[in-house]
Structure 1
Amino acid sequence: MIIREAKVDDIKQIQIVRNSVTENTLSNPDLVTDNDCEVFITLRGKGWVCELDNEIIGFAIVDLQENNIWALFLKPKFEKKGIGQLLHNTMLNWYFAQTKEKVWLGTAFNTRAEKFYRKAGWTAVGTHGSKEIKFEMTYSDWLATPNH
């Protein structure tokens, strides 16, 4: 298993992972296009993938323009193995090496993702739209997080 920077050639497999999830699903998979992914990993920020036997099983993407975690997803059968934490930490270490601005994300209420972010040290600051909780992470909070 390796964690590496995402490449444009990975987008097809990234989309497979994104559409395999059982929580935080897209109401319409066409809302996140291959072009969107390319822009976020090449122009707006950076992405990472977790690869196992040449198969992408998870990915994370951060947006420097909006200071936002754009995506962090795993194929369901690879959840609860520490892969999400590895992707998360890789992404946030890179993000805070680029900027000290706080970063935010939105995730659905009462999901495993919500529990994951709380455990990882994120602070709930309200809602994002009507269906998501909004979390923030400051640089100082990140530095204080064990195992970052």
Structure 2
Amino acid sequence: MTVTIRLATPADVEVLFDIRTSVVQNHLSREQLAALGITAATLADAMRHAPCCWIAQVHGAPVGFAMVDVDDGEVFALFIRPTFEGRGLGQALLDSAEACLFQTHEVIGLTTDGGATIRANGFYIHQGWTLVGAVDERDVRYEKRRALLPPVVDDPRW
């Protein structure tokens, strides 16, 4: 399986919506997304503001994406087409998102459906995220702290 992760551009907006509306868990329609303020225009504007979205491709076909809010230090979205789940694509996309956010934030966050059957919760915990609490009756918040580098030892014996 040939996998590439590439930076998305405003020209990819329809691909993002196609992937986002293909998921089974945490599914939202275009109309529901628009009601939340997530439109083609808002996504394109975000991508023009800063590099903030990555697409996973398998043999050149887009199968997943991750998007961040650079200013707020938040992972905004991470979705994989159902037929490509469990192949490490989510981890690869999350790595790109985290690397971007940790350039300017020591602590980053994300919000997701906290339902017991939602697999994303186990995924984020497995990736080193910490559940910090409920956001509302449905959603929960996770945070992750930038790893500290070991101290530099200025000792000629090392």
- TM-score range relative to shorter protein: 0.7 to 0.9
- Superposition pairs for residues 16-27 of structure 1, below 5 Å? 16-26=18-28
TM-score (norm: length of structure 2): 0.82
- Whose Rg is larger? 2
User: Contact between 1:58 and 1:84, CA under 8 Å: does it hold in 2?
Assistant: yes
RMSD, matched Cα: 1.9
What is the TM-score normalised by the length of structure 1? 0.87
Q: Which runs of 5+ in 1 are unaligned?
A: none
Q: What are structure 2's unaligned runs of at least 5 residues?
A: 151-158
Higher helix share: 1
**CA offset at residue 52 of structure 1?**
2.4
Equivalent residues of 2:133, 2:141 under 8 A apart: yes
Q: Give the counterpart letter for 2:139 in structure 1.
A: E
Identical counterparts, % of pairs: 30
Higher mean C-alpha displacement, 100-109 vs 82-91: 100-109
Structure 1 residue 35 displacement after superposition: 1.3
The one-letter amino acid paired with 1:52 is V
Q: Which residue of 81, 86, 99 corresponds with 2:87?
A: 81
The answer to whether structure 1 residue 47 and structure 2 residue 53 are counterparts is yes
Matches of 1:78 and 1:29 in 2, distance apart? 23
User: Structure 1 runs of 4+ off > 3 angstroms?
Assistant: none
1:94 counterpart residue number = 100
Cα 1:45–1:130 shift into 2, 3 Å: farther
